Amino acid sequence: MPEPLENQEQQLTVIEANAPRIGATAYRGYSEMGQKGTVVILRQLENNSTELEDWQLQYRSMNRLDSMISDWKEVGLQDMIIRYNPEVSVVCTFLYPNGAHTSYHFAPEPEPPQLANS
């Protein structure tokens, strides 16, 4: 698998800066689809900003992940998705143009309103 175009510190900075939006996207996706999945964060890196645009955040349920990440079962993402509680936490996956991807499981703090009010 190719190397991600950002290191872990850069990825975590993006998560911290966007945790409420990532959490809201995950909760909304789970509520609408009724299936666990991951928020895919599409990174182009032409504008290496921590601020994400709407098109960069997409919820993909487990049955739709193959269309974006073919090896998601082999790299442990499937196990991460199965173990998380979508009511209080999020799985997000950075996806790069070279096919590299990295996933994280976290609890947004503060919780997005959609999570806090559920």
* Per-residue pLDDT tens digits for 87-107: 889 999 999 999 999 999 998
HEC letters along 48-112: CCCCCCHHHEEEEEHHHHHHCCCCCCCCCHHHHHHHCCCCCCEEEEEECCCCCEEEEEECCCCCC
Has residue 114 got a pLDDT over 70? no
Calculate Rg over the CA atoms of the chain. 13
Rounded to an integer, what distance in angstroms lies between the CA atom of residue 99 and that of residue 111?
30
Q: How confident is the model at residue 3, as a pLDDT?
A: 85
Structure tokens at 21: 């939006």
pLDDT tens per residue across span 67-81: 889 899 888 899 999
pLDDT of 45 higher than 90: no
Rounded Cα–Cα distance for residues 110 and 69 (Å): 29
pLDDT of residue 58 exceeding 70, the answer is yes
Q: pLDDT value at position 111? A: 58
Please report which helix (H) or strand (E) contains residue 12, including its range: helix 8-33
Residue 98 token pair: 């070279």
The structural domains of the chain, with segments of one domain joined by +, span 8-110
- pLDDT at position 118 is 43
pLDDT at position 102 is: 95
